[in-house]
Amino acid sequence: MADVFFGIAFGAGFIVGAGEDLRHRTLTPSGFGWELEGYEPSALVDAFHESGGLILIRDQGQLTPVALAEFAAIFGELEQNEKYDTEFLLPEHPEILRIGNLRQKGRYHSLFTRADPPPLMWHCDDSFRVPQPLGSCIWCVETPPEGGETGFAGMTAAYDALPVETLERVEGVMTTHSYDYLNEYLRERNPHRLPLSDALRAQHPPVERPLVAEHPETGRKSLYLPKCHIESVHGLSPEDGALLLDELLAHATGPDFAFMHRWAPGDLVVWDNRCTLHAPSRFDDVKYQRLLYRLTMRGEQIV
Ligand SMILES: [Fe+2]
């Protein structure tokens, strides 16, 4: 984690950029990630795209589940979390998935995945699924006093900064993303996690995805490398494929394009799964509780 910028905000103060209605400050030196100072709903989607696919709004502790759902629906139709244990969903709000270590009578009542120590598990949500959720929205309910941060990295800015030799190596390369591959990877670290059911495996067969994705709304290219979902890089041996992904990840999650977000209750974050990566970091889940509400939105797919 030492190579990741660990800050509250990069920009000195809130500014109004050209052509926007919202005051913001950037969260990385490359300009990826915007913290907004309040928001006007009609300007949010433009800000989302101009930020490179990550916006943060603090101090939203007053939101009710209904208001949270209305906010997330600005970005796309809400998904209903059919693939999760219903115990993980907020009662009467299947669009809200609880993430964290909430336990009652020895059972998790939230989706709990113990984070890897560095290197972090950089990913975008459900790239192995068709349709992939266009974006995810998280509202922080409770956070430990230390640990449990989330890293965010901008894949468009990272792509734009690639040297020409690397661009030539990645252009046109296809990969296979697999839910089963991810699940087995997670099970090695999380024995409480079940193997995929036959029904889920049949519902989510491996899918081909480009290593360089074009954003369907902005037309911009970005690296598309949730390594823990990528079963194979076409045309390369498993070893060479892993080396290429590691090399690209080291670049794309460096301090120009990535930062660690230290959560506070009431933080509201929306990211674009088609052009960003995120990564959880560890916390002491015996001593502390962490709880986030996550909503995912449907929309245009990468091309
Ligand atoms: Fe995630």
CA of 66 to the centre of ligand 1 (A): 22
CA of 73 to the centre of ligand 1 (A): 19
pLDDT band at 235; cut points 50, 70, 90: very high
CA of 133 to the centre of ligand 1 (A): 11
262 occurs within a structural domain: yes
pLDDT band at 246; cut points 50, 70, 90: very high
In this prediction, what percent of the chain has a pLDDT beyond 90? 83
Name the more confident of 190 and 11. Answer: 190
Task: Domain count for the chain, please give it.
Answer: 1
CA of 123 to the centre of ligand 1 (A): 6
10 occurs within a structural domain: no
**Nearest 5 degrees, angle CA 9-CA 30-CA 215?**
110
146 occurs within a structural domain: yes
CA of 256 to the centre of ligand 1 (A): 21
303 occurs within a structural domain: no
pLDDT computed for residue 13 by the predictor: 52
**For the chain, how big is the Rg over CA atoms in Å?**
18
**Nearest 5 degrees, angle CA 252-CA 255-CA 260?**
95
Cβ proximity of 220 and 214 under 8 Å: yes
Average pLDDT, the chain: 91
Q: What is the pLDDT of residues 155-187, one digit of tens each?
A: 999 999 999 999 999 999 999 999 999 999 999
CA of 150 to the centre of ligand 1 (A): 9
Element (H, E) at 96: strand 93-100
CA of 15 to the centre of ligand 1 (A): 29
Both structure tokens of 239: 């070893």
Cβ proximity of 274 and 124 under 8 Å: yes
Name the more confident of 91 and 39. Answer: 91
Q: Are strands 23-26 and 15-16 parallel, antiparallel or unpaired?
A: antiparallel
The mean pLDDT of 218-228, rounded to a whole number, is: 97
Q: Which domain holds residue 198?
A: 15-297
User: What is the Cα–Cα distance from 303 to 108, expressed in whole angstroms?
Assistant: 37
5 occurs within a structural domain: no
9 occurs within a structural domain: no
pLDDT computed for residue 104 by the predictor: 87
Q: What is the pLDDT of residues 97-114, one digit of tens each?
A: 999 999 988 899 999 988
* Burial classification of residue 57, based on how many CB atoms lie within 10 Å of its CB (0-12 exposed, 13-18 middle, 19 or more buried): buried
135 occurs within a structural domain: yes
Cβ proximity of 265 and 63 under 8 Å: no
Q: What is the pLDDT of residues 258-276, one digit of tens each?
A: 999 999 999 999 999 999 9
pLDDT computed for residue 114 by the predictor: 85
112 occurs within a structural domain: yes
pLDDT computed for residue 237 by the predictor: 98
CA of 102 to the centre of ligand 1 (A): 17
CATH code, domain with 64: 3.60.130.10
